[in-house]
Chains A and B, each alone.
Chain A
Amino acid sequence: TQLLEQSPQFLSIQEGENLTVYCNSSSVFSSLQWYRQEPGEGPVLLVTVVTGGEVKKLKRLTFQFGDARKDSSLHITAAQPGDTGLYLCAVGPGGSYIPTFGRGTSLIVHP
């Protein structure tokens, strides 16, 4: 059983469409991170959310942390081909030094 469940696993859309991907868990977290990974590269941190109900915006990307701090969503408005990549959510490592990653959502945006 995965601690972090990401959905959908794959998403293929046309440029200009909107999309939302999800990261869910039954556990409560003090914070949660979203990363984007392009093919052949390491994940790059997009945002960290720490407060229940928190909403953060990064240009066309909107991140929300659930009120109970068990889940998070990432919404992309007017997707562009440059948004193509693997979107990973993660928690920790914190004091345990053991981070946990979801399996990721693989997004392809077609021109």
Chain B
Amino acid sequence: ETGVTQTPRHLVMGMTNKKSLKCEQHLGHNAMYWYKQSAKKPLELMFVYSLEERVENNSVPSRFSPECPNSSHLFLHLHTLQPEDSALYLCASSQGGSADTQYFGPGTRLTVL
């Protein structure tokens, strides 16, 4: 248990569906992150939120829409995805500022049919 939970753990969706991934951190951190990890590829940073404000959007397609309603919760809303979007989506949190350590959730394994 790292103090970061993600739901669902597995998700299968069609290209026309709309779904959301949820992340919750119980560590009192003030920064949260979404990553995409595809097979045999390095971790790709998608979004960064600090104090509920988006500070980085790494040229992610608009079919991915993040939401950070408070410092403990982070969502990734998905719509009209493509099969190449199938991947492990990881959420992480950190204390932010000068702190360097990230704590990851277990991930959501997404399959787009």
Contacts and interface: CB of A to CB of B under 8 A. Distances in A.
Which secondary structure characterizes the binding site on chain A? loop
Contact of A102 (B42, B91, B105): B42
Interface residues of A, number: 25
A45 B93 CA distance: 12
Which secondary structure characterizes the binding site on chain B? strand
A111 interface: no
B43 A92 contact: no
B76 interface: no
Q: How large is the interface on B (under 10, 10 to 19, 20 to 34, 35 or more residues)?
A: 20 to 34
Nearest to B88: A40
B100 A94 contact: yes
A98 B103 CA distance: 14
Interface of B: 2, 4, 6, 31, 33, 42-43, 45, 48, 50, 55-56, 88, 90-92, 94, 96-107, 109
